């Protein structure tokens, strides 16, 4: 309370003309209360009214747009400007013109995102497979509803779905659309809500209708052979695995791979990619291939370009001479998004709550929804027919004596008494009497009345049939089956995506064989690398280096060797000798830090070359400790290019060595002491960042300054610098050895 009074006093002093008690006071609120009052309503709104589709296959924004276009007469009329549609839609969807237009673009035929587009577009609507091809402004484009939308709105005026007020209570809008086919699975739908998301893949319309018919006839039917796999508007190849598909069909979750389709042009020696996965774009693929080319992992390409035009998508890859296009594509499938995974999450709003449903469950829910729509439609038609029959039966009674009807009307003094007098005169009710009273004088003849009453028998038959339909579920199912078969026949198209079996692809995929030939590797102190063949080395002169640089390592090996580059940030980067181009002595070579995309200000300290990961790595630290790590600890089953914690970071590293067998090394401290050790006395560890064991004891202020190979015979009495037990301090140079010049290796 004292703190609050102090804040109030300060506020009054700062605002002498305003007497707002407590102004500037920060009130405390429990986070649980804030989440309940602020966050939860927002989350529910996004989930139920924005991001997740309902069982009719539409999000609210889609439904509002299509219904507006229907009310504008765009189902059968001419196209109109998109700006006009956007403006009219704002009566139902007040979220801004840009959001509405984006929605319409994604539903359009021109954008090519939907397998069964609902908007017949004209003009530039962009492309789903392109990141850079943007759509034109709404004032430049035109649109109308696609013919298939007739199956969405054919029954909307027959009380098949509920209507609610729009946001300002000025008009009505449908809560769902009475779709005649499962639109929820006929087109792709993605949405990110709060705490949940939805990702539904599309299926071929003809296959989907056939599968739904099978489930209507037999709820326990196996539709896997009918609805084999999804189908995308962009085509591609679906790597089919039955177990994976069964999981998706039953649970609504899982993923499957889609890969691009290509053609090889023998005349121009190039690959034309014409279909790509729906999860990527042409620009993303091109950027990734260029990146792989620059890194050296894809060398068979001489050029790549985007040749997409009005005829459709086309990415052209020019090949170098002698390149096998199939092997190149197998490699590109692995390292780029030419092969990508479509992750399924069939999250749908059912009865006002989000549910993750499998294909079976989703079709069952749609069948239940459609059954209710058909019932409501038949009941609506039944009531209309009954009302019409009732009126015609009253008219039929007048047929017995038209003159009497005219006489009753003519002799009635007051207009209000006409209907009651007709009711008394012919024994009809008020509704029938009103209908008779409203007939024009010119229609009170036998011919007109006979024509109108001829339909009575047909109406009675029709009413009997509709009542029979409502009484028998099998009759309703037959109506649904007939409608689905008609839609399949009218709008069905062949599959676009090709189905290939994943097991067959896996057998065809072979790991690329790295060409194996002898090479000599050079690694400089500044981090430059060269790979030179023995033939080129024999005819070359001195190795070119940067000013101040010196050659640190020269190793004879083969082109298929693994290279491990240890850095000053306790990391190791792995590469193949084949990843580097052949060079010459007259070249500086590749700068390893740039080639392997190392972290900023990261420098290479040592290069280890191995083929079988036998032997061990030795790390000598300034504090006199030595870590001996099994080389197999750096072998990885996956193609990981970077390993963190490659060695201990507790003390600066002085030297790194890779050895395949134990040897003798000389350690020298800043105090001038030398210690001759055999690496066999250092215990082997499997943990990469181990601190190792203390080998050389040091006086305060002194550190190990270098490590070098021991040259046999360089010491007159080698035992002087050896010790039986570790750690040891070592010894200073004897008078006999002081004349020897030590050089770092």
What DSSP state is assigned to residue 417?
A: G
**Helical (H) or strand (E) element with 423:** helix 418-426
Q: Is 293 a catalytic residue?
A: no
Among 41, 49, 55, which residue's Cα sits nearest to residue 351?
55
| Residues facing 237 on adjacent strands | 259, 498
Instruction: State the sign of the Cα–Cα–Cα–Cα dihedral 145, 151, 152, 153.
Output: positive
In the numeric block, the tokens 């009329």 are attached to: 77
Cα–Cα distance measured from residue 117 to residue 149, given in angstroms and rounded to the nearest whole number? 9
In the numeric block, the tokens 């280890």 are attached to: 608
- The pair of structure tokens assigned to 643 is 């390993």
Q: Are 500 and 239 in contact (CB under 8 A)?
A: yes
SS3 state of residue 556? strand
Task: Note if the bond before 270 is cis, omega within 30 degrees.
Answer: no
CA 333, distance to chain mean position in Å, is 17
Among 146, 170, 191, 156, which residue's Cα sits nearest to residue 88?
170
- The pair of structure tokens assigned to 450 is 């006979």
Among 565, 743, 720, which residue's Cα sits nearest to residue 656?
565
Q: DSSP states of 389-415 as a string?
A: HHHHHHHHHHHT-HHHHHHHHHH-SSG
Cα–Cα distance measured from residue 42 to residue 194, given in angstroms and rounded to the nearest whole number? 9
Cα–Cα distance measured from residue 323 to residue 328, given in angstroms and rounded to the nearest whole number? 7
Q: Are 159 and 172 in contact (CB under 8 A)?
A: no
Q: DSSP states of 150-171 as a string?
A: HHHHTTTTTT-S-EEE-TTSSS
* Active-site position among 140, 249, 360, 613: 140
**Helical (H) or strand (E) element with 89:** helix 82-89
Residue 635: CB atoms within 10 Å:
13
Cα–Cα distance measured from residue 241 to residue 228, given in angstroms and rounded to the nearest whole number? 10
* Residues labelled catalytic: 140
């Amino acid at each position: 309370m004292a703190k609050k009074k102090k804040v109030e006093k300060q506020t009054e002093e700062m605002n002498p003309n305003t007497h707002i008690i407590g102004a500037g006071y920060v009130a405390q609120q429990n986070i649980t209360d804030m989440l309940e009052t602020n966050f939860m309503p927002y989350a529910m709104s996004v989930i139920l009214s924005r991001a997740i589709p309902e069982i009719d296959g539409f999000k609210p924004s889609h439904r509002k747009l299509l219904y507006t276009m229907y009310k504008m007469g765009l189902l059968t009329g001419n196209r109109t400007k998109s700006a006009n549609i956007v403006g009219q839609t704002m009566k139902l969807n007040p979220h801004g013109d840009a959001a509405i237009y984006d929605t319409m673009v994604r539903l359009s035929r021109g954008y090519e995102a939907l397998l069964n587009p609902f908007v017949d577009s004209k003009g530039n609507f962009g492309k789903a497979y392109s990141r850079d091809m943007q759509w034109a402004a709404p004032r430049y484009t035109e649109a109308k509803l696609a013919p298939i939308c007739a199956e969405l709105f054919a029954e909307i005026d027959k009380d098949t779905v509920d209507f609610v007020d729009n946001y300002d209570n000025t008009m009505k809008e449908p809560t769902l659309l009475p779709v005649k086919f499962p639109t929820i699975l006929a087109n792709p739908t993605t949405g990110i809500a709060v705490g949940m998301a939805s990702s539904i893949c599309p299926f071929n319309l003809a296959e989907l209708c056939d599968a739904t018919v099978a489930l209507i006839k037999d709820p326990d039917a196996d539709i896997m052979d009918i609805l084999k796999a999804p189908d995308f508007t962009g085509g591609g190849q679906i790597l089919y695995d039955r177990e994976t598909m069964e999981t998706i069909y039953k649970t609504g979750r899982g993923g499957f791979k889609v890969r691009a389709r290509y053609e090889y042009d023998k005349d121009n020696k190039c690959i034309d990619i014409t279909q790509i996965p729906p999860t990527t774009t042409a620009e993303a693929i091109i950027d990734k291939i260029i990146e792989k080319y620059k890194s050296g992992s894809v060398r068979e390409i001489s050029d790549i370009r985007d040749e997409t035009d009005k005829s459709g998508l086309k990415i052209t890859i020019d090949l170098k001479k002698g390149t096998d296009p199939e092997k190149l594509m197998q490699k590109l499938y692995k390292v780029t998004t030419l092969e990508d995974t479509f992750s399924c999450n069939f999250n749908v709003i059912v009865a006002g709550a989000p549910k993750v449903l499998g294909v079976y469950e989703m079709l069952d829910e749609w069948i239940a929804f459609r059954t209710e729509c058909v019932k409501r439609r038949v009941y609506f038609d039944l009531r209309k027919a009954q009302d019409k029959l009732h009126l015609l039966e009253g008219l039929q009674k007048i047929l017995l004596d038209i003159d009497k009807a005219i006489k009753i009307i003519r002799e009635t003094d007051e207009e209000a008494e006409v209907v009651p007098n007709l009711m008394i005169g012919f024994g009809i009710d008020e509704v029938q009497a009103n209908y008779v009273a409203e007939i024009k004088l010119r229609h009170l003849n036998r011919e007109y009345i006979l024509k109108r009453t001829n339909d009575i028998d047909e109406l009675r038959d029709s009413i009997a049939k509709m009542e029979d339909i409502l009484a028998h579920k099998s009759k309703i199912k037959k109506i649904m089956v007939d409608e689905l078969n008609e839609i399949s026949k009218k709008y069905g198209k062949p599959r676009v995506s090709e189905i290939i079996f994943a097991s067959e692809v896996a057998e065809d995929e072979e790991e690329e064989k790295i060409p194996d030939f002898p090479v000599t590797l050079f690694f400089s102190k500044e981090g430059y690398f060269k790979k030179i063949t023995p033939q080129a080395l024999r005819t070359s002169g001195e190795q070119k280096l940067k000013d101040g640089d010196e050659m640190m390592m020269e190793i004879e090996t083969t082109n298929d060797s693994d290279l491990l580059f240890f850095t000053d940030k306790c990391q190791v980067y792995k590469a193949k000798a084949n990843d580097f181009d052949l060079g010459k002595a007259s070249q500086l070579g590749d700068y390893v830090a740039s080639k392997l995309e190392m972290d900023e200000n990261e420098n290479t300290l040592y290069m280890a070359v191995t083929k079988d990961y036998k032997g061990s790595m030795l790390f000598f630290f300034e504090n006199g400790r030595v870590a001996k790590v099994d080389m197999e600890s750096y072998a990885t089953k996956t193609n990981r290019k970077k390993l963190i914690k490659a060695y201990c970071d507790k003390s600066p590293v002085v030297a790194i060595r890779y050895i395949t067998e134990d040897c003798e090394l000389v350690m020298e401290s800043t105090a001038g002491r030398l210690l001759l050790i055999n690496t066999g006395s250092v215990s082997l560890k499997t943990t990469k960042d181990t601190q190792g064991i203390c080998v050389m004891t040091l006086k305060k202020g002194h550190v190990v300054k270098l490590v070098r190979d021991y040259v046999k015979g360089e010491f007159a009495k080698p035992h002087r610098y050896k010790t039986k037990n570790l750690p040891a301090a070592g010894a200073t140079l004897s008078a006999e050895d002081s004349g020897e010049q030590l050089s770092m290796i």
